[in-house]
Copies of this chain bind each other. A is one copy, B any other.
């Protein structure tokens, strides 16, 4: 696994973010409109032609592969392509995760793109978010990557689309294994609970 991009100067990271973040937000809006639109075939054909032209322009200069995980010179992670938190990934809500002394948490809103049962969040989207948040709690926002070993989810009731909250915290640490727990809740309380074991990869462990 390649974590070895040249670190990006913090000013340069800010400059890039100012360009790409509003652009990605516009694509996120388009994604929602793509699902919900009821305009006719002619409008759709015109929209498709415009989008194909934009894509061609963007692809004139692009990375050969995916975005990867990069760091600033100050050690800040730049997971900009990440499907949960990536500010350059239109499929990410994206979550902004807050870190406290004992837990991390995030407040966010999920719309049409995340629907499973009618008006409710797809169960797998809850799993996606909790996997990410528990992993973030387990690594305590640190720059050492941890990988999910196992994760179990218990669905208490349907999670409605709309404003939601998620929290996660470390339960205990046992050698290279970190046990984390968390939940997603709406205004009425928790809807999904999760527990997971996160593992420090062999290459990131202290030498014996």
Tell me the A residues contacting B by CB distance below 8 Å: 1-3, 19-20, 22-24, 26-27, 29-31, 33-39, 41, 43-48, 50-55, 57-63, 65-69, 80-84, 86, 88-91, 111-120, 122-125, 127-132, 135, 145, 147-155, 158, 161
Contact = CB atoms under 8 A, between A and B. Distances in A.
Contacts of A132: 122, 124
A33 B55 contact: yes
Contacts of A52: 26, 29
A30 B27 contact: yes
Contacts of A145: 117
Q: In this complex, which of A66, A130, A151 has the most chain B Cβ atoms within 10 angstroms of its Cβ? A: A66
A35 B150 contact: no
B31 A90 contact: yes
A22 B120 CA distance: 26
Nearest to A68: B118
Contact of A68 (B115, B128, B148): B115
A7 to B, nearest CB: 15
B123 A65 contact: no
Given A35-B86, A91-B113, 4 more contacts: A81-B115, A84-B124, A125-B128, A127-B131
